[in-house]
Amino acid sequence: RAPTQFIHWSQQDGYWHLYLYDVNKGLVRQLTKGAWVVKNIIGFDEKESIVYVEGTDIIDPKMPQGAMDTHIYRVDIGSGKTMKLTKEAGTHSGQLGGGGRFIIDTWSSLSVPGRTDIIDAVKGTVLKTLVNSNDPLAQMKVGTVEFVRVLGENGDMLNARLIKPKDFDSRQKYPVLVYLYNGPHVQLVTNSFLGGSSLWMLHAAQRGYIVFTIDGHGSENRGKAFEQAIYRQLGVTEVKDQLRGVDFLKSLPYVDADRMAVHGWSFGGHVTTALMLRSPGTFKVAVAGGPVMDWGMYEVMYTERYMDTPAENPEGYAKSNLFNYVDNLSGRLLMIHGSSDDVVLWQHSLRYIRECVRKGKQIDYFVYPEHLHNVLGPDRVHLFEKIETFFNENLRDARTERP
């Protein structure tokens, strides 16, 4: 007989949760609930009476670090009883095996480089450790990665990551490199190896920078209200959150507020440029890659999901249109674009250059021929060399110590 029930994944109560429905009777029950987010469904046991999922830990607006973790949960479809199987904080990813008798749990955290365990699918007990990775950077000179919290624009605490050089000296004043994205469906700060940062950020720290990243409103895994705070005004609340991060940095005695740089790509390129225009003078130098300048020029499927149509939301489109703020440009801004970008079309930055020329504003610009929305392959080394050189040349007091 054909099954009559199905599981619906919805954010209707404010967080992504699972709901059991019957095709004839409608809603049977809400399976998961509470201030946490179901991120993925791993699978079912043999009898299809248990569903296994990946999800965040509990998220409190004042204690948001639960959003940085990913755990594996066992959910009883008959009762909705939910049990967290993974015990240690970190980012866990599960693969169901043995007909639902065990789970292969691959995970890491800020203090655990990487581990793969076989855990019991009923109790979560570790049955066997398959891999326990050593720190691949243990023999290298790398800095420290720390998690911090910052009060955001709407009163929520925001998760952030701070990277310091290996030979950090609190008596010195360091320039700052802020790396950001801050768009929908992206979370940069996670309780995983290196905290979600990349190797070039560690390299930048060893070159004498404090490297900072904050997940502001709009970024995922914090619940519907947090994510929808940017609705109909892309790039506005996000800039305010990033400036809250700047205020936090300025409160640190070892930060040189006169030598601050910012970099982002795509949505991050939009926010980077917006920071230079909405808060001129805050950052001395910026690099915006593949940046959206005007949401009215961006693809309809994405834009109208968050902004509605231009006819429905003319004020929102005007407020987020960066062509309207060219007169405010202060400091050194380098824009980078791939000539074959099929996501953020080349016209975005070309038109911005035209506006800068018309208004007498100087701007730096570089094109990667034939590259799409990002610069990949061997040319990516050239990209980061260009970004680093641009920052060093415009923040001349930055240390040039090599790792």
Catalytic residues: 266, 341, 373
* Bridge partners, 163 (sequence order): 145, 211
Contact 44, 100 (CB under 8 A): yes
Question: Residue 333 and residue 336: Cα distance in Å, rounded?
Answer: 10
| Nearest residue to 213 (alpha-carbon basis) of 302, 154, 147, 124 | 147
Strand positions, DSSP E, 215-352: 255-265, 285-289, 332-338
| Nearest residue to 40 (alpha-carbon basis) of 11, 13, 17 | 17
* Rg of the chain over all Cα atoms, to the nearest angstrom: 23
CA 201, 60, 31 angle in degrees (round to 5)?
Answer: 110
Contact 338, 291 (CB under 8 A): no
For 386, list phi and psi in degrees, rounded to 5.
-65, -45
Q: Report the amino acid identity of residue 176.
A: V
Q: Helices then strands (H, E): number in the chain?
A: 8, 19
Q: Please provide the DSSP assignment of 159-204 as one string.
A: EEEEEE-TT--TTS-EEEEEEE---TT-----SSGGGG--HHHHHH
Q: How many CB atoms lie within 10 A of CB 327?
A: 11
For residue 104, the surrounding DSSP H or E stretch is strand 102-108
Sign of CA dihedral 112, 114, 115, 121: positive
Give the pair of three-digit tokens for residue 157: 């605490």
Using a 10 angstrom Cβ sphere, with 0-12 exposed, 13-18 middle and 19 or more buried, the burial of residue 21 is: middle
